[in-house]
Copies of this chain bind each other. A is one copy, B any other.
Amino acid sequence: MSDVLIVGTVALDTIETPFGKVEKALGGSAAYAAFAASFFAKPSLISIVGKDFPKQYFRVLKKRGINLEGLKIDDKTFHWEGFYEYDMNEAKTIKTELNSIENFKVEIPEMHKDVRYVFLANINPEQQLEALRQINNPGLVVLDTMNFWINNKKEVLIDVIKKTDVLLLNDGEARQLFKTINLVKAANEALRLGPKAVIIKKGEHGALLFTKNKHFNAPGYPLEKIKDPTGCGDSFGGAFIGYLAKTKDLSEHKLRKAMIYGSIVASYNAEDFGLNKLKNLTVKDIEKRYKEFQSMREF
């Protein structure tokens, strides 16, 4: 059995940034998250791709030890096309072809139903809820989403949040969901819905962890060579839950360390297009940057 179950999208991404372009690169929230988690634990991926999904991409995922029992194949693969301008905090969408992901019926393979660590990566909250229904007794549920679902499926999303232990939002989403500019207020509102922890991701500015009476500030890593921020949030979430699954410890202390590992993998991810950087990343690289994160915070 795998340590971490990741539900989300697998996509073909066509991305342009001021530093270049890739066409139909391997992407999607679950692909990025599973990749990031694989440096710490054994992830399994619950998603769907189409018959057009390149054989080579299956190999890329398997090479990182990602279990693909729960990856269905039907119709065409979800395709996202977008671009970034110089302010790379915001992706602009050109085209979203949902294809097979639209009517994806989540089915958790029997062998994964007792998994302890569940990451509901960004996907339709109805599909996230269905996944939770099929899992027996998860020890930790981490949830990510996006502005599209806040706009279009807010009620279902709130239902999922109520069943979640750790909620991930970026700052814009947090402000939108709780109708306040103030991130502390937004986080407190979120905690009131049930989660034990709320993480607000702020892109290059790092991430904030809010628990009942505490907060923690994880720095962003100052990148000189950012090329493509696609998947940074998903990588953050994947590394975060991967590290927790590895340590089997949900103390405040470990949540903080998990955020640092999330920030590290996300910072590497931005250094090249798609999953190119993470494909060749090593645990040694991660530990090297961990030391840098320590040294850039000491005072």
Contacts and interface: CB of A to CB of B under 8 A. Distances in A.
Interface of A: 86-88, 181-185, 188, 202, 204-206, 208, 210, 214-220, 222-224, 226, 253, 256-257, 259-260, 295-299
Contact of A226 (B88, B182, B219, B220): B182
Given A202-B205, A208-B222, A224-B182, A217 B87 contact: no
B222 A215 contact: yes
A239 to B, nearest CB: 14
Nearest to A208: B222
A184 B224 contact: yes
Contact of A256 (B87, B220, B299): B299
A58 to B, nearest CB: 36
A260 B222 contact: no
Given A183-B222, A223-B184, A206 B217 contact: yes
Q: Which of A219, A224, A259 has the most CB of B within 10 A?
A: A219
5 contacts: A86-B181, A183-B204, A214-B295, A259-B299, A297-B297
Contacts of A202: 205
A253 B222 contact: no
Given A256-B299, A257-B299, A298-B256, A184 B216 contact: no
A224 B208 CA distance: 14
Q: Which 3 A-B pairs have the closest CB atoms?
A: A217-B219, A205-B205, A256-B299
A153 to B, nearest CB: 26
Given A184-B223, A219-B219, 7 more contacts: A183-B204, A184-B224, A205-B205, A206-B219, A215-B222, A216-B296, A218-B299
